[in-house]
Chain A
Amino acid sequence: MSTTQTPTLELRNLEVAYTVRGIDRQVLRDVSLSIAPGEAYGLVGESGCGKSTAAFAAMRYLPRNGKITGGSIIFEGKDIVDIGETDVAQLRCSAISMVYQNPATALNPTIRIGKQIAEVFELNGASKSDAMKLAQESLVKVQIADPERVMRRYAHQLSGGMAQRVVIAMALASNPRLLVMDEPTTGLDATVEAEVLDLVRELRRDTGTAVLFISHNLGVIRNMCDRVGVLYAGALVEQGATTEIFKNPSHPYTVGLLRCIPRGGLHKSTDRLDTIPGTPPALGTKYEGCVFASRCSLADDKCQTELPQMVQINGEHVARCFHSDKASSMPRSIEQIEYASQADVRSVHNDDALLSISHLSKIFTQDGHKVRVINDVSFNLGFGETLGLVGESGSGKTTIAKLLLGLVSPEEGGVVTLDGKGLAQTLNRRDVSDVGAMQIVFQNPDQALNRRHSVTRIISRAVERLRGFSVDDSVVRAHELLTGMRVDASLHSVRPVQLSGGLKQRVAIARAFAGAPQIVVCDEPTSALDVSVQAAILNLLVDLQKKDNTSFIFISHDLGVVRYISDRIAVLYLGRVVEFGTSQRVFNGPFHPYTEALLSSVPNIDGSIRKRIPLTGVVPSPSNPPSGCVLNPRCPRKAGSGYETLCETEEPNLTEVEPGHFMRCHIPVANLKQLQN
């Protein structure tokens, strides 16, 4: 960044407070940053640290109870903190635009897409018919398929990726000089995320727009931004060029964040994840010293009482820490806690399968059409083993979980065998011990826990039902379980609403373990959690597995997490297993073409440049799958492989290409290996 240029956006000592129950609670503390024209600036941090508040403050759009209590927001040299509503509206329609998380709800459900985009052009003075034309052109620019049709559609008729393209088209319609992107790809599939990020990158190259990019995903930030700022508890704790920050993080919080992430081939068998001890502060906590001191292993008395200033590390790289020189070498924070045994230790790992499913299929009827969402899936799960299920949304991951648990019944011919015993197809026909033997942890603990019951009650009820304990015994057992999940005794009598997301998930896990399960299905258990909490939950799951020899079926869209925790992995596409093998094999290759594309779309946190293997087109509807191999219209390896006709006419079988490594592909594995090197 050259210092002679007027920055597009500059926040100078910005302070924002929310009024909650009559008290002002500070959410941004003395935040100063600047974004040069054409530059992409990333803001990272965990939930509640003030990222979105900073983004909305830049748009001059704070919630009703929010207000700017100090500092200035300078847009192209002009302070916009005190300008009036009309001027703000003028800025928004001509100079600053925003793209947000959750594109589906960001579009008006009752107005056609074309009209919603055209509105922006009309605001900028275009006539009605011109605006419609321009709107269609803007859709072409964001590379949406069939723009003409999209114009006439409603929001609910678009997929997540398409909706986000529409929102981006809308944001770019005004030719903004600043684009604020608040978690623009969170909630999208990895492949879609990669496409959207590619698009943003291209558009930025073409338009030279400055970008304020907010994300909790460090990999995305690393790939998208020139400079990064790390926010903690509303304060900017570190800032600098992206490569520099990732190479030489100098604030203990940044270091902690980077260490929490399961990446670079870490695996539960050899590596334990770091966590950040403690919990983030409540909204508006007052500090005398460093905001991070209470969770920092380097903190001393000075940190508690004196506010650290930004220290220069290297050129523009600054950190707000007294001990920045020691940060990168700070001791690892690994919680090693002996867990009380959850159940009688069962037979040790052996070759017999604990769970075996064969020829599982599921057909749903949708608007009179039969949709085969699961097509002939078979696999085994061993004692104490973790099987990871990965695939894009709609690949059938969750349906498989539901089939296993008996929440939906499989089609004729599908068999689920647990420990040598065939399970009834539906839950209400399974006996209590079978139900207790297989339990689930959901993505969203908020919705999974009964909020009218205390934490103890939630668990003790499950113990009562699943193990037939008396009321008193089950309460005792509930306390044991909760303590085992590291839920503090003082929290056993509270209701779920009073717990943080991580604690709620611990309670949900305790509930799943109430029936002394042999298998726990984890459906995206950490997707809604911050990385530091995610690390703690993953550690917990690994410990529980070691202790009780419990088996897991682990569903996640986060490939790093799946790789870390899984022994074996099944890659699903359109309800079929396309690749199956050990975690090692699946992630190190040779890859199935679909797996290859999926892996290459994940933004790499290590900064190594990897060529993205794009999957062209959209996921076909399972109601009308392509003939031949279901992947063939999108397959990155079909063209030029010499097997095109076969791919288009005949569905390949799942065959063992190497010992213990299965693939559903016509192209011989040797050829794939060659192409992928």
Chain B
Amino acid sequence: MLRFIAKRIGLSLVTLFIVSMIVFVMMSIMPGDLAKQTLGRDATPEAYEIWNKEKGLDKPLVVQYCVWIGGVMTGDLGMSFQYDQPVSEILGPAASKSAQLAIVALILIAPISILGGVIAAMNRGKRVDRILTVGGLSAAVIPEFVWSVVLILVFGVAIRVFPVSAFPDEENPNIINRIYHLLLPSIALLFVLFGYISRITRAGVIEALDSDYMRTAVLKGLSRKTAVFRHVLRNALLPTIAVIATQVPYLAGGLIAIERVFNYPGFGNILMDAVVARDFSLLQTAVFLVGLVIICFQLIADVLFAVLNPRIRQRVTE
């Protein structure tokens, strides 16, 4: 098992390295002269040169990459061109905000979607199933920012039960208040993800319900309910867990539209600002971190899958 995890981490590191290169190359081939943009068109060529030298942009790309990646590895994320502040000071709080939103959303989405999928599977072909499946799918085709606007209009403006902003105004808000503010965006995300996750769950549960071992369980004399709890769910939820784990980075890696609509100072908002301002030093590190999050959760999904499935667990321990 340890060998399996070590191998996976090794592979993740390789992926991460490739991601870092791609991010860096993309940033350097993006059009626009940074110095010109920062200093304005009227500055003298000498001024541009000095600026470039100061930011290290006069060096060859390879050196620039090494400086950047070396900094990232030692925890020095560099300075933002735009704010003239260390990148870590900008990204740190934003990442924490995004994580909070992701956690609240996940706690809301995972159980509801799984339950929906299980209910649909248990009532396969019946009306409940059709409503859940078609409803979930219909909700998923509407983008999250449309849901956000609709939810704000209904619950924030028409019947004022939820705040329209996802972040409390006051200083040092308590945890309840924070969660309360995050509910509306989480519901918007629930609408988007419910159809997807519940469908995967439904498929997994149906497969397990139709399996020979489920038949064995019922023919042993277990009641249907007990048989489903003991024999179906564990097997059925394996693929679901993997799917949810792959959705986490989507939630945590910056929900640009939702954060904009709900005016939430998360990762997505920072990313967006960095793009607009061509703040490359901030942007490349931010994109790299998003990649890191995705890779980490993929790793977690793989390990989790192996731990839950004895077949894979055995294969990896041998």
Contacts and interface: CB of A to CB of B under 8 A. Distances in A.
A570 to B, nearest CB: 33
B308 interface: yes
A108 interface: yes
Contact of A120 (B215, B221, B308, B310): B221
Contacts of A107: 213, 216
Nearest to B219: A98
A108 B211 CA distance: 9
B46 interface: no
Contact of A92 (B211, B212, B220, B318): B220
B223 interface: yes
Interface stretch (B78-86, B160-168, B184-192, B227-235): B227-235
Interface stretch (A83-91, A137-145, A601-609, A611-619): A83-91
B309 interface: yes
Given A105-B211, A154-B310, A61 B221 contact: no
Given A154-B310, A154-B311, A367-B318, A108 B223 contact: no
Given A106-B212, A109-B235, A367-B318, A123 B221 contact: yes
Contact of A85 (B216, B224, B230): B224
B218 interface: yes
A331 to B, nearest CB: 43
B217 interface: yes
B44 interface: no
Contacts of A93: 220-222
A100 interface: yes
B314 interface: yes
Q: Taking chain B's interface residues, is the majority helix, strand, or loop, or is none over half, making it mixed?
A: helix
A119 B230 contact: yes
A584 interface: no
A108 B213 contact: yes
Given A110-B234, A170-B216, A157 B314 contact: yes
A108 B235 contact: yes
Contact of A105 (B213, B219, B231): B213
Contacts of A111: 230-231, 234
A85 B221 CA distance: 10
Interface string A67-87: 000000000000000000110
A97 B215 CA distance: 12
Contacts of B215: 61, 100, 106
Nearest to B216: A106
Nearest to A91: B221
B223 A89 contact: yes
Interface in B291-318: 308-311, 314, 318
Contacts of A155: 213
A32 interface: no
Nearest to B318: A367
Highest count of chain B CB atoms <10 Å: which of A61, A86, A94, A111: A111
A105 B216 CA distance: 9
Contact of B309 (A61, A110, A119, A120): A110
B223 A86 contact: yes
Contacts of A328: none
Nearest to B313: A154
A9 to B, nearest CB: 15
A110 B308 contact: yes
Most chain-A CB neighbours within 10 Å: which of B216, B224, B230, B309? B216
A156 B216 CA distance: 16
A257 B203 CA distance: 42
Contacts of A120: 220-221
B213 A109 contact: yes
Interface residues of B, number: 23
B222 A119 contact: yes
A167 B234 CA distance: 21
Interface string A143-155: 0000000000011
A401 interface: no
Given A85-B224, A105-B213, A367-B318, A110 B310 contact: yes
A154 to B, nearest CB: 4
B17 to A, nearest CB: 27
Most buried by B among A86, A89, A97: A89
B123 to A, nearest CB: 12
A174 B219 CA distance: 12
Contacts of B218: 61, 89, 92
A182 B218 CA distance: 16
Contacts of B314: 154, 156-157
A100 B214 CA distance: 13
Nearest to A108: B213
A102 to B, nearest CB: 6
Nearest to A107: B213
Contacts of B308: 110
Select the residue from B220, B222, B234 with max chain A CB neighbours within 10 A: B220
B310 to A, nearest CB: 4
A59 interface: yes
Which residue, A98, A109, A155, has most C-beta atoms of chain B within 10 A? A109
Nearest to B223: A89
B220 A100 contact: no
Interface in A181-225: none
Contacts of A156: 310-311, 314
Contacts of B211: 105
A179 to B, nearest CB: 12
A80 to B, nearest CB: 14
A154 B218 CA distance: 19
Nearest to B308: A110
A61 B230 contact: no
B42 to A, nearest CB: 68
A488 B166 CA distance: 72
A59 B219 contact: yes
A61 B219 contact: yes
B12 to A, nearest CB: 23
A123 B220 CA distance: 9
A90 B234 CA distance: 25
Given A111-B231, A119-B230, A156-B311, A106 B213 contact: yes
B221 A89 contact: yes
Given A154-B310, A367-B318, A97 B219 contact: yes
Contacts of A174: 220-221
A109 B314 CA distance: 12
Contacts of B220: 92-93, 97, 119-120, 123, 170, 174
A102 B215 CA distance: 12
Nearest to A368: B318
Contacts of A97: 219-220
20 contacts: A61-B219, A89-B222, A91-B221, A93-B220, A100-B212, A100-B216, A105-B212, A107-B213, A108-B231, A109-B310, A109-B311, A110-B234, A110-B309, A120-B220, A123-B220, A123-B222, A154-B311, A156-B311, A157-B314, A170-B216
Given A107-B216, A119-B220, A119-B222, 16 more contacts: A59-B219, A61-B215, A61-B219, A92-B220, A93-B221, A100-B212, A107-B213, A108-B231, A108-B235, A109-B311, A110-B234, A111-B231, A111-B234, A123-B220, A170-B216, A170-B220
When A and B form their complex, which 4 residue pairs have the shortest distance between CB atoms, in order from nearest? A93-B221, A92-B221, A105-B212, A108-B213
